């Protein structure tokens, strides 16, 4: 069973969120296993057949609406904006924190009222240089970290620019400490910064400029 608590999840996300998360967990394990495996042909063929069978089981239930990080597809029954302080809840299909997304490394975020703190452990699936996390994956993590920081402050918006500085190697299979905070707001522009650290040493830092849109801002109505 997934360790994620769905008690506060809105019902419009998926009909069976816990079972969906269990499937995502199992698939996440399969992806990690494929990346590390050097198995004999018969084992690989058996695994391929099982994976193909599982994929075929889901075909009749495919929905072709517009995918969203907060819902399986866009419709008229979901919320009109983003709100909340738990990114795994408001972005359940995120490729970084989403429990319902099988490629997510399940980074864990917690908001303290000012800053978003998190941890992540990126395995060989996300490898770039030898023993290190791919630079593009680091940028992906930052985009989600900074964007989620904005949502926690009620300042959700679209990424305008994202600048990443790679200062030291960011290793795979290592606990990464993440931190995001808002530097300033100028009109519709939100300037947000963040860091990735290992053992207290910053390995990468980023600044993003996000453009607020009315449909992504938290409502101020009572």
* CATH for 50: 3.10.129.10
Name the domain count of the chain.
1
At 146-167, the pLDDT tens digits run 999 999 999 989 999 999 999 9
**Residue 45 in domain:** yes
Phi/psi of residue 135, each to 5°?
-60, -35
**Residue 5 in domain:** no
**Residue 2 in domain:** no
Q: Does pLDDT of 220 surpass 50?
A: no
**Residue 6 in domain:** no
Q: What mean pLDDT comes out for the span 11-25?
A: 84
**Residue 4 in domain:** no
At 108-125, the pLDDT tens digits run 999 999 999 999 999 999
Long-range residue pairs from 17-24, CB within 8 A, at least 24 positions apart, any chain: 17/92, 17/100, 20/100, 21/99, 21/100, 23/102, 24/99, 24/100, 24/101, 24/102, 24/104
Q: What mean pLDDT comes out for the span 211-217?
A: 68
**Residue 189 in domain:** yes
Expressed as residue numbers, the domain containing 202 is: 11-222
**pTM attached to this predicted model:** 0.88
At 52-73, the pLDDT tens digits run 999 999 999 988 877 888 777 6
């Amino acid at each position: 069973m997934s360790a994620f608590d769905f008690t506060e999840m809105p019902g419009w996300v998926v009909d069976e969120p816990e079972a969906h998360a269990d499937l995502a967990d199992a698939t996440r394990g399969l992806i990690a296993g494929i990346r590390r495996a050097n198995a004999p042909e018969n084992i690989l063929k058996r695994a391929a057949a099982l994976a193909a069978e599982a994929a075929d089981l889901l075909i009749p239930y495919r929905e072709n609406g517009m995918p969203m990080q907060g819902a399986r597809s866009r419709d008229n029954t979901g919320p009109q904006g983003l709100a909340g302080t738990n990114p795994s809840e408001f972005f359940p299909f995120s490729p970084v924190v989403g429990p319902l997304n099988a490629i997510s490394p399940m980074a864990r975020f917690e908001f303290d009222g000012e800053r978003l703190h998190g941890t992540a452990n990126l395995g060989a699936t996300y490898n770039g240089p030898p023993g290190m996390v791919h630079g593009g994956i680091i940028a992906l993590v930052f985009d989600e970290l900074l964007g989620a920081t904005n949502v926690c402050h009620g300042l959700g918006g679209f990424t305008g620019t994202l600048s990443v500085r790679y200062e030291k190697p960011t290793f795979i299979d290592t606990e990464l400490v993440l931190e995001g905070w808002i530097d300033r707001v100028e009109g519709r522009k939100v300037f947000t910064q963040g860091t990735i650290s290992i053992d207290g040493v910053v390995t990468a830092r980023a600044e993003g400029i996000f453009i607020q849109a009315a449909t992504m801002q938290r409502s101020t109505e009572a």
